[in-house]
């Protein structure tokens, strides 16, 4: 394999503490190596440019049945727009791009890893088929647990070992990555047309509370020692006043410390915090970000991602069935909603976020406040909960807003209800502008650490995957026009995946092999759980146990992370 040396660039690698120094990055056989290991390398001159590891997205909805439902029911997104062929396959779509466009667009932004945020276990074959067809980027997928009948029953009785054995079985059956929890208890209650009003209200017919589900899941996760922590979309998404539930949810992590061999330090990742930081009532909701970020900043066993509203037309999709049904009544657009047997639910509704809408503008401000009030950018990450708050292709715009107060002010001046928005948020009083180092923390180093994959992704130390993004930004004389920042992060100068140049001058030039990352956990043999699984499939599932687990041919180019919890 060829050797490459990237010279003269400003390198930002928070995992090694490199803050814009001119460091040569050496690549051999797809890995980062010491420069002394090269004999006859090809040189990439990154003079005047910014060099970072490939981006690592901790939370995005890119593959699986609900994403595909969105693709199928929004043909209008492909009409007269975004249809092109520059890579080997056609690209189309906007908020829910085709699998090919998804891979290409992430690569063009310099990303090399995406964690799919919600895999319905029953439909894992579909998830893995789309992982296979999404080019270039490595993908992991988290099966959804928080409303699963097995888990609800084990956690009600505080049977952590049994829940752990079931979790290990399901991760293997679905080739999954970690424990995702969506609206704990609420999505199951939705099977009866109900929801859980707060984290202490028992799930109907199950007699277990969302709080018990959450703490039991933390204990399960740390008992197993998984690379990632529990990854939770808490109760009451989008409801004004929900910051109380969010704080109570975060407090459930108190007293727990991370037990794992992967360098992860948090026990709870709370996702798309923007949707969960609302005070007030009805349409008069307000930002409670300072209260929440004070808590997050002072508790280092918690990580969060933003879920930034980008003020675009998009397509919402979550396993939070009751929330999506509520959204349908807000905008009267087309909608899809399903219950997934014993496991989860899902809904899909198109949504138009507008700068002319006060509520949407307040959401915009709340998201940015989270990024700007974060004291530890290694624990606060940039996402748009793609495509829920906006398409992932807007990350460069979010970075622009976080890095430039002038850009934020320009957006605020374009709001129809500017003054009212400023009244109920804190954004106008924040003059912080994030640095390139902090952006690298929020988009690769921090996310890789939280996912427990920082030995392979998110950094540029020898031995790690040679996934590198080179951006056309001169770190020593940053552009005065913030639009240049957005432009540079949208279309990187180079993106290397496993040491192969995949993107040059913002266009796809090669499509290196992509991988599926999953976690295989060894647990002690557990006869009770084996019997429970057998019985539930016999009595309650619509298919047989033998047909449930992913068939090997569905798994594409796997990279398995092995965990031993049997000792």
Partner 1 sequence: MKTVTLTLNKQPELYLECNDITPDAFAGKTPAEIAAIEIWEGKQKIPLGDFFTVEGSAGATPAETKIVVAGDCTRVKRIGQQMTDGEIVIESDVDMYIGGWMKGGTIHVKGNADSFCGIGMEGGELIIDGDAGHHVGAAPRGEWRGMKGGVIRIGGNVGNDTATFINGGTIVIGGDADIHISTHGEGGTVIVKGNAKGRVGGQMVKGEIYVFGTIENPLPGFKKIETVERDVEGVQAQFDHFIGDLGERHPKSKGQPVYAHLYVKA
Residues near Zn ion (CB under 5 A): 117, 385
CB of 386 to partner 1, least distance (A): 20
Q: Which is nearer to Zn ion, 163 or 447 (CB)?
A: 447
Q: Which is nearer to partner 1, 335 or 548 (CB)?
A: 335
Under DSSP, the state recorded for 448 is H
Contact 397, 484 (CB under 8 A): no
Distance between CA atoms of residues 154 and 166, nearest Å? 9
Q: Which is nearer to Zn ion, 126 or 497 (CB)?
A: 126
Q: Select from Zn ion, partner 1, none the partner in contact with residue 117, using the beta carbon and a kind-dependent cut-off of 5 to 8 Å.
A: Zn ion
Q: Which is nearer to Zn ion, 163 or 183 (CB)?
A: 183
Q: Select from Zn ion, partner 1, none the partner in contact with residue 298, using the beta carbon and a kind-dependent cut-off of 5 to 8 Å.
A: none
Give the dihedral of Cα atoms 512, 457, 91, 509; nearest 10 deg.
-40
Query: Which helix or strand (DSSP H or E) is residue 65 part of?
Result: helix 65-73
Where helices occur in 310-416 by DSSP H, the ranges are 321-331, 358-372, 395-403, 405-413
Distance between CA atoms of residues 202 and 197, nearest Å? 9
CB of 277 to partner 1, least distance (A): 30
End-to-end CA distance of the chain: 40
CB of 77 to partner 1, least distance (A): 8
Q: Select from partner 1, Zn ion, none the partner in contact with residue 57, using the beta carbon and a kind-dependent cut-off of 5 to 8 Å.
A: none
CB of 68 to partner 1, least distance (A): 15
CB of 350 to partner 1, least distance (A): 8
Q: Select from partner 1, Zn ion, none the partner in contact with residue 73, using the beta carbon and a kind-dependent cut-off of 5 to 8 Å.
A: partner 1
Contact 277, 287 (CB under 8 A): yes
CB of 154 to partner 1, least distance (A): 43
Under DSSP, the state recorded for 39 is S
Q: Select from partner 1, Zn ion, none the partner in contact with residue 463, using the beta carbon and a kind-dependent cut-off of 5 to 8 Å.
A: none
Q: Select from Zn ion, partner 1, none the partner in contact with residue 385, using the beta carbon and a kind-dependent cut-off of 5 to 8 Å.
A: Zn ion
Contact residues for partner 1, defined by CB under 8 A? 73-77, 79, 332-334, 350
Q: Which is nearer to partner 1, 96 or 109 (CB)?
A: 96
Q: Select from Zn ion, partner 1, none the partner in contact with residue 76, using the beta carbon and a kind-dependent cut-off of 5 to 8 Å.
A: partner 1
SS3 178: coil
Q: Select from Zn ion, partner 1, none the partner in contact with residue 559, using the beta carbon and a kind-dependent cut-off of 5 to 8 Å.
A: none
CB of 225 to Zn ion, least distance (A): 25
CB of 69 to partner 1, least distance (A): 13
Region of residue 203 (left: phi > 0; alpha: psi -120 to 50; beta: else): beta
Contact 343, 354 (CB under 8 A): no
Q: Which is nearer to partner 1, 47 or 352 (CB)?
A: 352
CB of 101 to partner 1, least distance (A): 18
Contact 520, 167 (CB under 8 A): no
SS3 449: helix
Which pair of tokens denotes residue 330?
A: 């807000």
Q: Which is nearer to Zn ion, 233 or 515 (CB)?
A: 233
Q: Which is nearer to partner 1, 335 or 537 (CB)?
A: 335
Q: Which is nearer to partner 1, 334 or 559 (CB)?
A: 334
User: What separation in angstroms does the CA of 438 have from each of 249, 426, 491?
Assistant: 27, 21, 20
Q: Which is nearer to Zn ion, 117 or 226 (CB)?
A: 117
- Name the burial class of residue 413, with classes exposed (0-12), middle (13-18) and buried (19+) by CB atoms within 10 angstroms of its CB: exposed
Q: Which is nearer to Zn ion, 57 or 385 (CB)?
A: 385
Q: Select from Zn ion, partner 1, none the partner in contact with residue 74, using the beta carbon and a kind-dependent cut-off of 5 to 8 Å.
A: partner 1
Please tell me the total number of residues recorded for the chain in this structure: 567
CB of 96 to partner 1, least distance (A): 12
**Taking the mean position of all CA atoms in its chain, how far away is CA 533?**
30
Q: Cα–Cα–Cα angle for 410, 413, 419, nearest 5°?
A: 140
Q: Select from Zn ion, partner 1, none the partner in contact with residue 75, using the beta carbon and a kind-dependent cut-off of 5 to 8 Å.
A: partner 1
CB of 412 to partner 1, least distance (A): 28
Contact 531, 539 (CB under 8 A): no
Contact 245, 257 (CB under 8 A): no
Q: Select from partner 1, Zn ion, none the partner in contact with residue 290, using the beta carbon and a kind-dependent cut-off of 5 to 8 Å.
A: none
Q: How are strands ordered across the β-sheet holding 18-22?
A: 18-22, 10-13, 50-53, 468-471, 494-497, 500-504, 507-508
């Amino acid at each position: 394999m060829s050797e490459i040396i990237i010279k003269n660039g400003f390198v930002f690698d928070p995992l090694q503490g490199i803050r814009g120094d001119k460091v040569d990055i050496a690549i051999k056989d797809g890995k980062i190596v010491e420069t002394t290991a090269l004999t006859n390398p090809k040189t990439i001159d990154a003079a005047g440019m910014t060099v970072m590891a490939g981006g690592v997205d901790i939370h995005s909805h890119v593959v699986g049945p609900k994403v595909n439902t969105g693709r199928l029911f929004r043909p209008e997104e492909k009409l007269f727009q975004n249809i092109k062929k520059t890579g080997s396959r056609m690209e189309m779509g906007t908020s829910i791009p085709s699998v090919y466009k998804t891979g290409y667009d992430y690569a063009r932004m310099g990303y090399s890893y995406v964690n799919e945020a919600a895999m319905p276990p029953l439909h894992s074959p579909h998830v893995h088929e789309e992982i296979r067809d999404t080019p270039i980027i490595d993908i992991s997928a988290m099966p959804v647990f928080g409303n699963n009948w097995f888990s609800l029953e084990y956690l009600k009785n505080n049977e952590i070992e049994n829940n752990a054995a079931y979790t290990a079985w399901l991760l293997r059956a679905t080739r999954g990555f970690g424990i995702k929890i969506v609206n704990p208890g609420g999505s199951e209650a939705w099977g009866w047309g109900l929801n859980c009003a707060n984290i202490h209200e028992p799930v109907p017919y199950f007699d277990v509370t969302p709080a018990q589900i959450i703490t039991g899941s933390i204990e399960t996760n740390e008992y197993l020692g998984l690379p990632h922590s529990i990854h939770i979309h808490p109760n009451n998404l989008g409801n004004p006043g929900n910051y109380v539930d969010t704080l109570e949810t975060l407090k459930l992590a108190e007293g727990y410390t991370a037990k794992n061999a992967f360098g992860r330090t948090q026990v709870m990742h709370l996702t798309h915090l923007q949707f969960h930081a609302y005070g007030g009532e009805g349409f008069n909701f307000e930002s409670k970000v300072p209260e929440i970020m004070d808590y997050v900043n002072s508790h280092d066993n918690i990580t969060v991602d933003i879920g930034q509203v980008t003020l675009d037309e998009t397509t919402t999709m979550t396993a939070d069935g009751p929330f999506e049904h509520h959204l349908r009544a807000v905008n009267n657009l087309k909608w899809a909603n399903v219950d997934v047997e014993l496991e989860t639910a899902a809904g899909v509704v198109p949504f138009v976020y507008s700068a002319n809408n006060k509520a949407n503008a307040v959401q915009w401000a709340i998201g940015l406040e989270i990024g700007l009030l974060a004291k530890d950018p290694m624990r606060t990450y940039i996402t748009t909960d793609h495509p829920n708050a906006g398409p992932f292709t807007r990350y460069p715009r979010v970075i622009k807003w976080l890095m430039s107060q002038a850009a934020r002010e320009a957006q605020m001046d374009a709001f129809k209800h500017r003054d009212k928005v400023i009244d109920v948020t804190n954004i106008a009083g924040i003059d912080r502008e994030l640095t390139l180092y902090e952006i690298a923390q929020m988009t690769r180093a921090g996310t890789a650490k939280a996912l427990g994959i920082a030995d392979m992704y998110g950094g540029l130390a020898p031995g790690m995957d040679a996934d590198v993004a080179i951006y056309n930004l001169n770190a020593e004389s940053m552009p005065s026009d913030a639009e240049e920042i957005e432009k540079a992060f949208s279309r990187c100068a180079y993106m290397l995946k496993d040491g192969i140049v995949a993107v040059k001058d913002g266009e796809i030039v090669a499509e290196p092999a992509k991988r599926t990352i999953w976690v295989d956990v060894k647990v002690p043999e557990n006869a009770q759980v084996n019997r429970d699984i057998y019985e539930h499939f016999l009595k309650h599932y619509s298919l047989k146990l033998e047909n449930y687990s992913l068939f090997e041919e569905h798994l594409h180019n796997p990279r398995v992370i092995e965990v031993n919890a049997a000792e």
